[in-house]
Amino acid sequence: MTALDKIKGWLAEIVELGLLLVALGIVLQILVGPKVAFIGDVVGNLLVLIKALGEGGLVGLIAIAIILWLFAKRSPG
């Protein structure tokens, strides 16, 4: 395994952990409300992002497509 493969593996794990933390933040905000300690307003931030992309028209649609492409789980090779 080369150094580049190791770095790619670490980055993939960091992104996976980040997505899990975002999901946890959303669930906690739904259960407890917007005043969750150490989490912040995850749902509010996501709504702002979605609204900004929605107001972008075609540019927003392209941005959403790029984001989905980046987060899509593709098998290597």
Confidence (pLDDT) at 73: 63
Domain definitions of the chain by residue range? 3-71
Q: pLDDT tens across 20-51, in order?
A: 888 888 888 878 777 776 777 777 777 887 78
Report the pLDDT averaged over residues 3-19. Answer: 86
Distance of CA 43 to the CA centre of its chain: 12
pLDDT: is 35 or 77 the higher one?
A: 35
d(C-alpha 9, C-alpha 13), whole Å: 6
Which of 15, 14, 38 is closest to 25 using CA atoms? 38
